[in-house]
C-alpha cells in the first residue's frame, strides 16, 4: 500500500474515516477484497496472493490497520517474513490498542523488511515504524487528518503535501470528506518540484509518476483502492467500499454486506 489517509475524530458521526490506494507491480497476483478472517473478529481486506498477506485489514469491531513499505536501495530482502502479516496481526485483536501491543510483543528487529503502519479504531490512533535494527516504535496520534505514503510521517513528501492540499480544498468547498475522498485518490498530478526526488536520504530515487496519488507506469501502479468509515456508534460495523482497479477509472463498490 502506498497511500493512506486516516481522518480520526474529525467527521460528525464517524470516529475514523480511511482512504487507501494500493500501488504494486502490475503482474503481482492479488485480490482487492477477501474475508481474511472468518470470525472472532471477522476481518476484511485485500490479499496478496503471492506472499499471502494484506496491505489493509479492517475488522468488524472497527479496527483498521494499513501498511506502507519503506523502500531501500538494495530492494526487498526475500529471506524475511512478509510485511503483509502485520495488518492481519493487528486486526485480529478487538481494539487498536490491543493490536499494536500484540505487534510490539511478537515482532523482533530484522524479521521483516522496514515498513510503516497506521492503526486506528473508535478510541485511539497509532503510528508504527518497523526498522531492521530496533524494536517496533509506536506513537499515539491525536485527532486530525494523517497522511502516510512510502516515507515516514514528518519527513518531507511532495506527495503528502499534494494530498493534504486536496483535502483542505475539499473541506473548504462543502462536501463531506467521505464524498471527496474518491476524487483525491484519483488525482494524477505530480507535485511541482517532486520529479525524480527521493523520500529520504537513504531511499532510492523514485520515478516521478509515483508521486501522484493515483500511479501509472509501464509495470507498476495503483491496483486497487478502498474507503472505510467507522461509525461512532459502537454497535455499528464499518462501512467499506472497494475499487478493484485504478482509482481514477474504477467505481467503488459497497462491500459492507461481507460482514455477514
CATH code of the domain covering residue 109: 3.60.60.10
Q: What tens digit of pLDDT does each residue of 43-90 get? A: 999 999 998 899 999 999 999 999 999 987 777 888 899 999 999 999
Q: What angle do CA 89, 95, 96 make, to 5 degrees?
A: 70
Q: What three-state secondary structure class fits 84?
A: coil
Contact 57, 88 (CB under 8 A): yes
Q: Is residue 55 part of a domain?
A: yes
186 preceded by a cis bond (ω within 30 of 0): no
Q: Is residue 59 part of a domain?
A: yes
Q: Residue 203: which pLDDT band, with cuts at 50, 70 and 90?
A: low
Residue 1 has pLDDT above 60, yes or no: no
Q: Is residue 211 part of a domain?
A: no
Q: Which domain holds residue 10?
A: 3-155+220-259
In total, how many domains does the chain have?
1
Q: Is residue 25 part of a domain?
A: yes
Q: Is residue 230 part of a domain?
A: yes
**Per DSSP, what are the bridge partners of residue 60?**
none
Q: Is residue 191 part of a domain?
A: no
Sheet holding 253-254, edge to edge: 144-148, 3-11, 14-25, 220-231, 239-243, 253-254
Q: Is residue 245 part of a domain?
A: yes
Q: What tens digit of pLDDT does each residue of 153-186 get? A: 999 999 999 999 999 988 777 778 999 999 999 9
Amino acid at each position: 500500500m502506498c497511500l493512506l489517509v486516516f481522518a480520526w475524530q474529525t467527521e460528525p458521526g464517524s470516529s475514523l474515516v480511511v482512504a487507501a490506494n494500493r500501488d504494486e507491480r502490475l503482474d503481482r497476483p492479488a485480490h482487492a477484497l477477501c474475508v481474511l478472517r472468518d470470525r472472532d473478529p471477522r476481518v476484511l481486506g485485500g490479499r496478496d496472493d503471492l506472499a499471502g498477506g494484506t496491505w489493509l485489514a479492517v475488522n468488524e469491531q472497527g479496527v483498521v490497520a494499513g501498511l506502507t513499505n519503506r523502500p531501500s536501495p538494495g530492494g526487498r530482502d526475500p529471506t524475511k517474513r512478509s510485511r503483509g502479516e502485520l495488518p492481519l496481526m493487528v486486526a485480529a485483536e478487538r481494539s487498536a490498542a490491543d493490536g499494536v501491543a500484540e505487534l510490539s510483543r511478537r515482532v523482533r528487529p530484522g524479521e521483516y523488511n522496514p515498513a510503516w503502519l497506521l492503526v486506528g479504531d473508535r478510541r485511539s490512533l497509532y503510528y508504527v515504524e518497523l526498522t531492521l535494527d530496533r524494536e517496533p516504535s509506536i506513537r499515539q496520534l491525536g485527532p486530525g487528518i494523517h497522511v502516510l505514503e512510502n516515507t515516514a510521517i514528518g519527513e518531507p513528501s511532495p506527495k503528502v503535501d499534494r494530498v493534504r492540499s486536496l483535502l483542505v480544498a475539499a473541506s473548504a468547498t462543502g462536501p463531506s470528506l467521505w464524498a471527496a475522498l474518491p476524487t483525491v485518490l484519483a488525482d494524477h498530478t505530480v507535485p511541482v518540484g517532486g520529479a525524480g526526488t527521493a523520500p529520504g536520504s537513504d531511499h532510492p530515487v523514485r520515478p516521478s509518476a509515483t508521486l501522484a496519488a493515483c500511479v501509472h507506469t509501464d509495470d507498476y501502479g495503483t491496483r486497487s483502492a478502498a474507503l472505510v468509515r467507522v461509525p461512532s456508534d459502537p454497535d455499528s460495523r464499518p462501512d467499506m467500499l472497494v475499487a478493484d482497479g485504478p482509482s481514477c477509472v474504477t467505481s467503488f463498490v459497497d462491500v459492507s454486506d461481507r460482514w455477514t
